[in-house]
Amino acid sequence: MAILVTGGMGYIGSHTCVELLNAGYEVVIVDNLSNSKIEVLQNIQDITGKGFKFYKINMLEKDSLERVFHENEIDAVIHFAGLKSVEESVLHPLLYYKNNLMSTITLCELMQKYQIKNLVFSSSATVYGIPEKVPISEESQLQAKSPYGRTKLMIEEILEDVHQADQQWSISILRYFNPIGAHESGKIGEDPLGRPNNLMPTITKVAARKYNILHVFGNNYPTIDGTCIRDYIHVTDIANGHIKALKKNKNSSGIHTYNLGTGKGYSVLEIISSFEKVTGVHIPYQIIAPRSGDVAVCYANPTKAEKELGWKARKEIDEMCMDSWRWEVNKMNDDLNKVNV
């Protein structure tokens, strides 16, 4: 019996595949490589020493996706596939609604047809919008502020309805806070196409001298040093949360929502200084105007996941910074090797 991992070639999906394979699960990946590279396949294999199946399929193409269900004994599905840029979703809302909603509906239709009712879904802390208070618990008000965020909220509602109609479904909705870091081997990590928007990939590119300077968006927020506070969490901790959710789903039906965060917040300046401390690399930065839509403080109350899934984030901020940097250095070395061949 296999776990179908949609979007398994992407950042969080690839780390989850590693943890699944290490834990002895059989894995089938579906990904259209719209935001990931084929090299990830080999890297997952190198890390785990295990084989798995990969289908390059666009999930909007139902007949192609059905082939995966037909050819494999699928036990459960982890659904990562989706587009994830807030900025891009504002420019291309229809692309986001079509890709994220239709892929989920097509997937659920096939799961229903093949009587597979165990699903773990990637949601996001973005569904909390501007939080009324921190730490943010799962019961906090939901108010997505972008088309991307609304796709997550809509999918959460679709899944509620799917479960309402057939209560044999076991669904875990995982709301991630700010995933950073990379596998300790440095072989897989976040590899955004084009210029990154997020803090950590921008820091590592400044450290690698691919960019001259880090722009810090605002220092006048009501926080310890005026810069925004976020709950950064190691991607491997996030990956392990999925294994815990799969196990919970297997033992009970129902639909449950969990925050995956550390419960601790760090400011932008604190992240810069942690990164400099553990890597020894100076990060030149400049404070510029606040970025529109940023909230001052956002961190999780992760106690529900601890109580009900037995999951807790383990890795500290220094390790997150070091692993992010190791991944960037390895990518630089790979690029150099390609040039020298």
Considering only residues 226 to 265 of the shown chain, the ones binding ligand NAD according to CB under 6 A are none
Residue 31 binding: pick among ligand UFG, ligand NAD, none (C-beta 5-8 Å cut-off by kind)? ligand NAD
Residue 59 binding: pick among ligand NAD, ligand UFG, none (C-beta 5-8 Å cut-off by kind)? ligand NAD
Q: Is 299 in the site for ligand NAD (CB under 6 A)?
A: no
Q: Is 202 in the site for ligand UFG (CB under 6 A)?
A: yes
Q: Is 114 in the site for ligand UFG (CB under 6 A)?
A: no
Answer for which of 34, 42, 167, 220 binds ligand NAD (CB under 6 A) is 34
Considering only residues 2 to 61 of the shown chain, the ones binding ligand UFG according to CB under 6 A are none
Answer for which of 42, 197, 220, 333 binds ligand UFG (CB under 6 A) is 197
Stretch that binds ligand UFG, among 75-83, 100-108, 173-181, 250-258 (CB under 6 A): 173-181
Stretch that binds ligand NAD, among 79-87, 132-140, 214-222, 315-323 (CB under 6 A): 79-87
Question: C-beta of 306: minimal distance to ligand NAD in Å?
Answer: 19
CA distances from 31 to 39, 56, 144, 197, 236 (A): 13, 5, 26, 23, 20
**Among the listed residues 55, 65, 145, 75, the one whose alpha carbon sits nearest the alpha carbon of residue 102:** 65
User: 29: which DSSP letter?
Assistant: E
Q: Are 267 and 229 within 8 A, CB to CB? A: yes
**Among the listed residues 177, 60, 178, the one whose alpha carbon sits nearest the alpha carbon of residue 109:** 60
CA distances from 151 to 169, 193, 334 (A): 21, 21, 36
For ligand NAD, what does the binding mask look like between residues 274 and 293, x meaning CB under 6 A?
Answer: --------------------
Answer for which of 4, 20, 28, 32 binds ligand NAD (CB under 6 A) is 32
Question: C-beta of 238: minimal distance to ligand NAD in Å?
Answer: 9
- Write out the two tokens for 33: 């490589």
Q: At what angle do helices 11-22 and 39-48 cross, to 10 degrees?
A: 30
How far is 179 from 174, CA to CA, in rounded Å? Answer: 12
How far is 29 from 117, CA to CA, in rounded Å? Answer: 18
Q: Are 121 and 173 within 8 A, CB to CB? A: yes
Q: N- to C-terminal Cα distance for the chain?
A: 42
Residue nearer to ligand UFG on the CB measure, 154 or 185: 154
Q: Is 291 in the site for ligand UFG (CB under 6 A)?
A: yes
The single residue of 148, 176, 258, 299 carrying the catalytic annotation is 148
Q: Are strands 229-230 and 266-267 parallel, antiparallel or unpaired?
A: antiparallel
Task: Note if 258 is an active site residue.
Answer: no
Who's near 7: CB < 8 A, 6+ residues apart?
13, 30, 31, 36, 79, 80, 81, 82, 122
Question: C-beta of 267: minimal distance to ligand UFG in Å?
Answer: 8
For ligand UFG, what does the binding mask look like between residues 214 and 243, x meaning CB under 6 A?
Answer: xxxx----------x-x-------------
Cα 178 to the center of its chain, rounded Å:
8
- Positions touching ligand UFG (CB under 6 A) are 84, 86, 124-126, 176-178, 197-199, 202, 214-217, 228, 230, 268, 291, 294
Residues tagged active-site: 148
- Positions touching ligand NAD (CB under 6 A) are 7, 9-13, 30-36, 58-60, 80-84, 99, 103, 122, 124, 176, 179
